[in-house]
Structure 1
C-alpha cells in the first residue's frame, strides 16, 4: 500500500493519484497544512493510517472561515462534548487529532473546539464502504437529524459518488416519523443499550427497548426450563439489573444470576469458536438452543455466520461444505430472512445479503446436482427481483450479485 501512494507536493499528505491535488475535496487540508509541509513525515503504513484520523475533522474546521452556512449547519449537530470528556475515545482524539493538528501548526481553534468537531463526527457520521475502495465516513446533515429506533423503517446505502440514499424498508404512513437505527438492530436490548450509551451517549426508549418481549422478537430471551413449556423467558422490567426473569406462558421464574451466567457462557463460546470449523459451529448452535430461545440474537448471529461464511473462499469454501451443511445453510437463510423482515423491514440490506448467499448456494447445488426442496426453488424468481431492488446503485453490494439474477 505504501509504495502505491502519491504524495501532494504542496502539503505532503498521501493521495490516491497525481490527479487528486486538483480535486476540490483536497483543498481544505491542503490549504491548512501546506505551511507544515516540511514537518509532515510519513514513513510507514501506520503513519498513513493516522493521517485519516484528522483529515476529515480538518475539513470540517476549514468550513468556519470558508463556508459559514455549512459550518453553522454542522454546529447544530450533537457533539456530546461533556459526556465524552475523560472517555477512551476522547483521549484517543486528544492524541491523534488535537495534538497532531497543533503539532502541524493549526492554532486557530481551541482544544475543545476540535474535540467538539470530533464528537460531532463520532455521534453523527455515517460509514461507507465498497468492495473496490477503503471504508470512509462522512457527515450527511439531513440524515443526521433522523432519530433512532430499534425497529427502523428505513435503510441507507451509498452510491459510488459518495451520495447517500435513504430507502423505506416498510410502509411509512403520512405523518409517521422516518427512523433509522444507530446500532445493530438484530442485537438484544442489553447489548443495544450498552452500545448506544458508549457511542452515542443516550438510552433508547423506542417501543422495542421498553418492551420486555422486544415487540415479539424475543432477541434476548432464554428458553423456559420447564420441559413441557419451552416458551420465551424474559426480564419483567427492561433495563433493571438483578431481577428474576419470567416465562411469558407458564410464569416460571428463573433467577437473575442463572440468566446472566447463561448469557455470559454463550457469549464466551461464540467468541472462542474456530471460524473455519463448520462442525463446531453446528454443535455450538445446537448447544445454545438448549437454553436460549431460537430467535435469541446469539443464535441468530451464529446462523448468519453459517450463511455468510460457508461458501466464502476466505473462511469455508464450497468444496469443504458437504450436502447436509448446504441444506442447513439454506434452512438458516429462510429462517433469518423472516427474522430480519420483522426487525429491519422487508427491504433491508441484511435481507439482501441473505438472499445473495442463498442464491449463490442454490447455484452451487445446481452445479453439483444436489437436490433442493422444490418450495425453496419456487422462491427464486421473487428473491431475484428483491435483490435487484435492494442492491440497485449500492456501492457496498457484492460485486458478483448480478450473476445470480437471471
Structure 2
C-alpha cells in the first residue's frame, strides 16, 4: 500500500525497528493487529482468588467450580472459553494428564503464569504460522543464562512445573500437540514473553499477557510518541484483545515509532535499571540523556552544602548515562557518589510506599512531604507521588477545605500538571494521572468560588467568574485526557465521575446566571 504509515528497518544496534513512512499526526493508527497468543497472569492473592481459565473472571479459590476435565478453577462449567481453542480448549487436554484436584497450596498447584508459555508451545500444532512468527521474536537468551535471576525463576516456576507435571507425561495422541518440547524451548519462550509481552488489565480485575507480531518491533523511549489500547468488547470474537497503536504527538517521516516499557514517573536511574534488568538494554533517549529530565528535575536532590556553609543549589548527575557518575551541585563544589544517592532515594522510596500502602491520612503525608522536601527538589518523583495523594484528600472533608488548603491544592495541581505535560505531552502513559489532576483542580476552583471573602462577604459574580472559567478548562482537559481509555475499567469509572462534575458545574453556572 502506497500510503502505509510505517516501515520496518534493521540496524546492528536496534535489530528490527519501525519508522514513520510519512509525516504522521496525532490520532493516526500505525498498527492494529490481533494477538498471536494470550494468557492470564496470577492474581495478586492467588490463595483467595484465581482467574477462570476460560474467561479470566476472578473466582474464589476454595469454593469456585472446577473444569470437569482438568480440574482447574473456572467461573462455571458452562463458560464458553473452556472449549474455545484460543482460551482453554486445547490446553485442557494437556492439563488433564494431572486430573486430581487440590484445595491446599493451590497457587503452587495451579500456576496460571505457566499457561501462556504452554499456549505458546501449543501453537506448533494449533497455528504453525503464528508459531513461526513467535519464534522470530527476540528472547535475549544470551543474557538469561543459568544462574541469572530470570533463568532460575523461569526454571523453577514455569519450565520444571510444565515439564514435570504435564509434558513429560504426554502419551499417544497427546504427543501430537507438542512436536517439539524441551526445557530449552520453554526457556526461550519465557525469554520471548519477558521481552515482548504486553499487559492487558481486564474489566473484572484480572490481568493478561499477550504477544503481538508487529507491535513487538516498536522500540522504547522515555518520551513515547504512540499510545496503545486493547479491544475488550469486540463485535467479532476473533478481534478480542486486538491492539491499536495510535500516534499521540506529531511524528516526522523517517522518525522512529516509540512506546514506553517503564513507568513515566520514575526517575532516570530507576527507569534505566528497570529496562536493563527486564529488557536487557540501556536507554539513551532524550530524557535519559538530560540530567534535568527535560527541565522537570524529577530526580534532582537539594544540596545541603559543606559544614557550616549551607547551600541552596541542586544536585544532578554529571553523566546520567553512566551508572557510576557523581552528582554535582549547581552552585558549590560538593559532590556525592551515585551509590550514596541510590541508597538515600531507595530509603525514601520505602518510606513513601509504606505511608501510601497504609492509606496515609493528610497529616502523615504532609509530615513526610515536609521532611523529604529538605533533601529533594520540589519536583522530585517521590514528592510528586505524595502530592498526588494529598491533592485527592484536600477538599474532601470540612477540616481540609479552608481557603488556605484549597489554594495549596490549586498550586499543587498546577505544578504537577506542568510536570506531567512535559513528561507525557501526548497522554501516552499518564492519562489517568493527568485526568485526576485536572479534575481535582476543577474541584478546588469550584469550591473556592463558593467560599466567602476574608471579611465574610459573599463573592461577587466578577470574583467567581474567573475561577469558573479555569474550572471549565480543567474539566474539559480532564475529559480530553481519557479519550483513548474507554476500554480501561479505571478510565471508564473516572469518566463517569468527571462527566457528573461537568454537569454540576453547568448547573452551578446556570444558578448564578454566569455564561462561561
Which 5+ residue runs of structure 2 have no aligned equivalent?
1-59, 169-179, 233-239, 452-463, 503-516
Q: 1:143 aligns to what?
A: 215
Conserved? CA contact 1:341–1:351, under 8 Å: no
Change (3 A) 1:260 1:389: closer
Conserved? CA contact 2:438–2:475, under 8 Å: no
Question: How far is the alpha carbon of 1:237 from its aligned partner?
Answer: 1.6
SS of 1:175's partner is coil
Q: Which moved more, 1:326-335 or 1:104-113?
A: 326-335
CA deviation vs aligned residue, 1:209-237 (integer Å, no higher than 9, x gap): 22323332322212344799845421212
Change (3 A) 1:178 1:301: same
Q: 2:327 aligns to what?
A: 245
Q: 1:110 aligns to what?
A: 182
CA deviation vs aligned residue, 1:157-207 (integer Å, no higher than 9, x gap): 323242323233322222211111111122111111111121112211222
Q: 1:155 aligns to what?
A: 227
SS of 1:133's partner is coil
Q: 2:483 aligns to what?
A: 389
Change (3 A) 1:15 1:337: same
Instruction: Select which of 379, 396, 413 maps to 1:318.
Output: 396
Give, in whole Å, the separation in 1 of the partners of 2:221 and 2:426.
16
Q: How does 1:165-204 map to 2 (within 5 A)?
A: 165-204=244-283
TM-score (norm 1): 0.85
Instruction: Select which of 114, 118, 122 maps to 1:62.
Output: 122
Q: Which moved more, 1:378-387 or 1:98-107?
A: 378-387
Q: Which moved more, 1:199-208 or 1:379-388?
A: 379-388
Instruction: Select which of 38, 57, 61 maps to 1:2.
Output: 61
CA deviation vs aligned residue, 1:90-115 (integer Å, no higher than 9, x gap): 32322222222123331451111111
Give, in whole Å, the separation in 2 of the partners of 1:229 and 1:153.
39
Give, in whole Å, the separation in 2 of the partners of 1:78 and 1:66.
22
Q: How does 1:278-297 map to 2 (within 5 A)?
A: 278-297=362-381
Give, in whole Å, the separation in 1 of the partners of 2:445 and 2:323.
48
Q: 1:31 aligns to what?
A: 93
Change (3 A) 1:352 1:390: farther
Q: 1:97 aligns to what?
A: 158
Give, in whole Å, the separation in 2 of the partners of 1:104 and 1:180.
38
CA deviation vs aligned residue, 1:355-397 (integer Å, no higher than 9, x gap): 2364267559868985494464142353244145242333442
Conserved? CA contact 1:152–1:344, under 8 Å: yes
Conserved? CA contact 1:189–1:209, under 8 Å: yes
Question: Is 1:399–2:510 an aligned residue pair?
Answer: no
Change (3 A) 1:349 1:183: closer
TM-score (norm 2): 0.68
Question: How far is the alpha carbon of 1:46 from its aligned partner?
Answer: 3.5
Change (3 A) 1:241 1:368: closer
Give, in whole Å, the separation in 2 of the partners of 1:228 and 1:159.
56
Q: How does 1:4-23 map to 2 (within 5 A)?
A: 5-17=64-76, 18-19=78-79, 20-23=81-84
Which aligned runs of 4 or more in structure 1 are off by greater than 6 angstroms? Answer: 226-229
Which 5+ residue runs of structure 1 have no aligned equivalent?
312-316
Give, in whole Å, the separation in 2 of the partners of 1:277 and 1:133.
26
Conserved? CA contact 1:10–1:30, under 8 Å: yes
Q: How does 1:188-227 map to 2 (within 5 A)?
A: 188-225=267-304
Give, in whole Å, the separation in 2 of the partners of 1:231 and 1:151.
27
Conserved? CA contact 1:153–1:170, under 8 Å: yes
Question: Is 1:72–2:132 an aligned residue pair?
Answer: yes
Instruction: Select which of 36, 43, 50 maps to 2:103.
Output: 43
Aligned residues: 397
Question: How far is the alpha carbon of 1:117 from its aligned partner?
Answer: 0.7
Give, in whole Å, the separation in 2 of the partners of 1:390 and 1:230.
42
SS of 1:196's partner is helix
Question: Is 1:254–2:254 an aligned residue pair?
Answer: no
Conserved? CA contact 1:245–1:255, under 8 Å: yes
Instruction: Select which of 143, 150, 172 maps to 1:83.
Output: 143
Give, in whole Å, the separation in 1 of the partners of 2:335 and 2:157.
47
CA deviation vs aligned residue, 1:249-308 (integer Å, no higher than 9, x gap): x36433327645643453343244353222121122222222211222222222233346
SS of 1:401's partner is helix
Conserved? CA contact 1:42–1:48, under 8 Å: no
Question: How far is the alpha carbon of 1:339 from its aligned partner?
Answer: 1.3
Give, in whole Å, the separation in 2 of the partners of 1:390 and 1:333.
22
Q: Which moved more, 1:140-149 or 1:155-164?
A: 155-164
Q: 1:314 aligns to what?
A: none
